[in-house]
Structure 1
Amino acid sequence: MIRFDRRLVQNFDWVMVAAVLVVALLGLLNLYSATHLSRGYGSTVFIKQAYYFLAGFGLIFLIVLVDYKVLIKWNYLLYGIMIILLLLVLLVGGEVAGSQRWINLGFFRLQPSEPAKLLLVITLASYYYRKDTGKGFALKELLLPMGLTAVPVLMILKQPDLGTALMLVFIFVSMTLFVKLKWSTLGVLAGIGVSFLPLVWQFYLKPYQRQRIMTFLSPESDPLGSGYHIAQSKIAVGSGATFGKGYMQGTQAQLDFLPERHTDFAFSVWAEEWGFIGSLFFLACYFFIVLWGLNIALSARDKFGVLLAFGIVSLLFWQAFINLGMVLGLLPVVGMPMPLFSYGGSSLLTTLAGIGILINIRMRRFTTP
């Protein structure tokens, strides 16, 4: 499985590494500004994130040593590990601010719902690769992937973590639409999705989650309560104007008006300090990674590589899209970090593991399936 082929070194994707490194450095720069005034807190968070990046880049170089096709054999084992970890969270996980999402490993607090996103991509890519006949998937052939998605979604909703649960749904929808479906199947799936919305609203969403959605529809109704996050974020983004207020000069962040400024609302800090031009530069760097990932999918040597790369790109895209919509007040606040930019060890290591798989696919595009 581990092959020291000279062609692998020659085809190593330094373009992706360079792009990720640029976004990572921008994220660290922003993180220091967002947290440096908190005594004993800013420096700790910044140093931790730097260590997570070092560990993540090391993980990338380990992942590229093994041919990505072994994931076809490992996918159900990895899926089983994911379910066990999500179950452990519900049984023995630590609770923070009413949410039970983490397992304390002593040296690291693992949030299993983060690697669950990548593991679901691997599971769905493996299934669709095995079952694809080229004639289009019928509804009965989608029952298993629907079930494989529904189990972790329901477990994550119990934590509760609406944002991550929605991400798993978006991954499933994106990858399912990417493979060939029969039109009748597409119609039935759309009907099922619409019919389940009232049930999810009534029985699975917590009161505060329903309140966040209502606040999104009418943010001015409670500007000092449930609408506070959105209001302060929009003020921060708007006050950045064209060129921003300058590094570490943003009043919303530095005067502690902006909540969760190192995690969910990290981009608000960046927009306030660097303005529209700086925000445009960051988004160009980030979405270059997304476009390069799509290029990797197009050049993959086999259908599994195509599905796997597309799934990882959809993971990166939807997380960024939801986070940006959230901080701009265009989507409800659901607790979604910006990949590679927001603080968080589990999220960062999962994202870099996905990047490692993309590089792996790119490196092996010249080999025979």
Structure 2
Amino acid sequence: MRELLLRGDVVLVVTALVLSLVGALLVGSATRAEAGSTVFVKHLVNLAVGLVMAGALLRLDRHTLRALAPVLYLLSIAALVVVLGPLGSTVNGSRSWVELPVGLSVQPSELAKVALCVALPMVLADAAERGRAPTTRDVLVSGAVVGVPVLLVLAQPDLGSALVLLALSVGVLVASGVRWPWLAGLALVAGGAVLAAFTTPVLSGYQRDRLTTFLDPSADPLGIGYQTQQVREAIGSGGLLGSGLGAGELTQSGRIPFQETDFVFSVAGEELGFLGGAVIIALYGLLVARIGLAAARADHFGRLVCVGVATWFGVQVVENVGMNLGVMPVTGLPLPFLSYGGSSMFACWLAIALVVSAAPRER
């Protein structure tokens, strides 16, 4: 933590830390009736491990990080392949987890976001350093670098994570100065992937139900439709100031499944109210803005890394908060720093370390 504060933007690091600690309070409130303080403590342990991992990554300067980008990328691809094999485990219709011998589980798609944030800038930074737009070869290589992890994540299947990977890739490509016909082609590919999710057996029945319920809330009134209705009711009942931490009726009754992960924002809505939810969203806005500031003072490679991280966080926050409010489909994406889950917490703090490494604070 000390290294993050010394080398990086203090406002950026402190904002991420505040979000993580707020997440611990919300996760603890959502799970205390069933698990006591166990999940609260685990969330703090995940935070501590994430800080240690970020500190370790900071030992690499941006030049070393750029040189090691292919290694990080290949390791992430290997992990995505492993998850589809016998070591992978299925949760909610998606084979997204690898069970480790020590009793822990890892979600490789989260770590793939970190790897793509350095691998794609590695491919595109050279053109920017020469003062020109990416060539056709650059774009085709970038397409392959993006396409492999996206296809492996879709094979799990995990549409939400695949869309985040595509979104951060678009952000990096736009920042690199790629010409608009290539961007239009990528948009068509993304649209085709979403269409395929609805019209082919790519997604499991459980995941398809989550998407169709968004279009027709009455389609699954006893399953995901009931769940999303309870989430909206919890947020709506919070009013301006909320019922108080630990005092939300729906949250404390345990009537919202996966509230500590997918729907942690509903805890804030019910117990902290509109103002509490607005403060959380403002903190995310500050976080993304500070990453944008880091991009402005970084070199070409560092700027693309920062744009990738900012796009990843921004898209994932909009999707998660949107699905809590009922204006976006339920995709199972966690809320960065707030949602319970080791893989998400580790990936988010590694991303902060990438930003700090790419654009260190001027002494």
1:114 aligns with 2:84: no
Change (3 A) 1:80 1:294: same
Shift, 1:140, TM fit: 4.6
Provide Cα deviations, 1:282-309, integer angstroms capped at 9, x if missing partner.
Answer: 2112221111111111111x10111111
> What is the deviation of 1:244?
0.6
Q: Are the equivalent residues in 1 in contact too, given 2:82–2:88 (CA < 8 A)?
A: yes
- 1:247-286 equivalences in 2 (<5 Å): 247-286=245-284
Report how far residue 81 of structure 1 moved. Answer: 0.8
Higher deviation after alignment, 120-129 or 131-140: 131-140
CA deviation digits over 1:212-247, x for unaligned, max 9?
Answer: 222111213433233122211111111111111111
C-alpha distance in 1, partners of 2:6/2:196?
Answer: 53
Structure 2 counterpart of 1:299, from 297, 318, 327: 297
AA partner of residue 154 (structure 1): L
TM-score (norm 2): 0.91
Other-structure match for 1:102: 97
Determine whether 1:151 maps to 2:145.
Answer: no
Correspondence for 1:358: 355
Q: Give 1:36 deviation, angstroms.
A: 0.4
**Structure 1 residues 102 and 186, CA, compared in 2 at 3 Å: closer, same or farther?**
closer
User: 1:331 corresponds to which letter in structure 2?
Assistant: M
| Aligned-partner Cα distance in 1 for 2:80–2:204 | 19
C-alpha separation in 2, matches of 1:364 and 1:66: 15
The letter of the residue matching 1:168 is L
CA contact (8 A) 2:164 2:316 kept: yes
1:40-60 CA-to-partner distances (Å, cap 9, x unmatched) read x34222111111111112222
For residue 172 of structure 2, the aligned residue among 170, 175, 181 is 175
Q: How far apart in 1 are the matches of 2:4 and 2:197?
A: 47
Q: 1:124 — aligned with what?
A: 120
Q: Residue 22 of structure 1: which of 18, 22, 44 is its match?
A: 18
Q: Deviations over 1:28-86 (max 9, x none)?
A: 11111000000xx3422211111111111222222223212212211111111111111
What is the alpha-carbon distance in structure 1 between the residues aligned to residue 242 and residue 283 of structure 2? 18
Measured in 2, the distance between the counterparts of 1:364 and 1:23 equals: 21
- Counterpart of 1:213 in structure 2: which amino acid? L
Q: How many residues align?
A: 357
The reply to whether residue 78 of structure 1 matches residue 75 of structure 2 is no
Amino acid at match of 1:342: S
Alpha-carbon distance between aligned partners in 2 of 1:221 and 1:157, rounded to the nearest angstrom? 24
Q: Which residue of structure 2 lines up, in the alignment, with residue 329 of structure 1?
A: 326
Comparing 182-191 and 117-126, the one that deviates more: 182-191
Which blocks of at least 5 consecutive residues in structure 1 are unaligned?
1-6
What CA distance in whole angstroms lies between the structure 1 residues aligned with 2:181 and 2:243?
Answer: 54
Give 1:225's aligned residue. Answer: 223
Q: What SS is found at the alignment partner of 1:220?
A: coil
Tell me whether 1:208 sits opposite 2:209 in the alignment. no
Change beyond 3 A, Cα 1:229–1:178: farther
Change over 3 Å in CA distance of 1:72–1:347 after alignment to 2: same
Partner amino acid for 2:53? L
Farther-moved stretch of structure 1 (214-223 vs 357-366): 357-366
**Matched residues in 1 for 2:114 and 2:26: separation?**
26
Amino acid at match of 1:164: S
Deviation at 1:164, TM superposition (A): 0.9
User: CA 1:365 to 1:70, structure 2 compared with 1: closer, same or farther past 3 Å?
Assistant: farther
Q: Match of 1:51, as an amino acid?
A: V
Pick which of 234-243 and 60-69 moved more: 60-69
Give the distance between the partners of 1:9 and 1:151, measured in 2 at CA: 35
Cα RMSD over matched residues?
2.2
Structure 2 CA distance, aligned partners of 1:141 and 1:12? 31
For the residues of structure 2 that align with 1:8 and 1:60, how far apart are their CA atoms? 8
Distance 1:198 1:246, change over 3 A: closer
**3-state SS in 2 of match to 1:264:** coil
1:58 aligns with 2:52: yes
Rounded to whole Å, the distance in 2 between the matches of 1:127 and 1:153 is: 17
Contact 2:316–2:333 (Cα < 8 Å) also in 1: yes
Task: Quote the Cα distance in structure 2 between the aligned partners of 1:308 and 1:66.
Answer: 14
Contact 1:134 1:180 in 2 (8 A): no
* Cα distance between partner residues in 2 of 1:165 and 1:192: 12
Distance 2:12 2:48 in 1: 16
Aligned to 1:37, the other structure's residue is in SS state: helix
Q: How far off is 1:123 after superposition?
A: 0.6
Moved more, 252-261 or 355-364: 355-364
Identity %: 35
| Aligned residue identity for 1:57 | L
- 2:94–2:204 CA contact under 8 A, matched in 1: no
Q: In 2, Cα distance between the equivalents of 1:16 and 1:190?
A: 31
Question: Paired residue for 2:242?
Answer: 244
CA deviations over 1:98-143 (Å, ceiling 9, x no partner): 3322222215211111100110111111111124343323555312
8 Å Cα contact 2:171/2:308 also seen in 1: yes
* Change in 2 beyond 3 A, CA 1:195/1:31: closer
Cα deviation, residue 193, structure 1: 4.1
Change (3 A) 1:217 1:10: closer
Q: Does the residue aligned with 2:96 lie in a helix, a strand or coil?
A: strand
Q: How much does 1:333 deviate?
A: 0.3
Q: 1:183 to 1:288 in 2, by over 3 A?
A: closer
Contact 2:302-2:358 within 8 A present in 1 as well: yes
Which residue in the other structure is 1:3 paired with? Answer: none
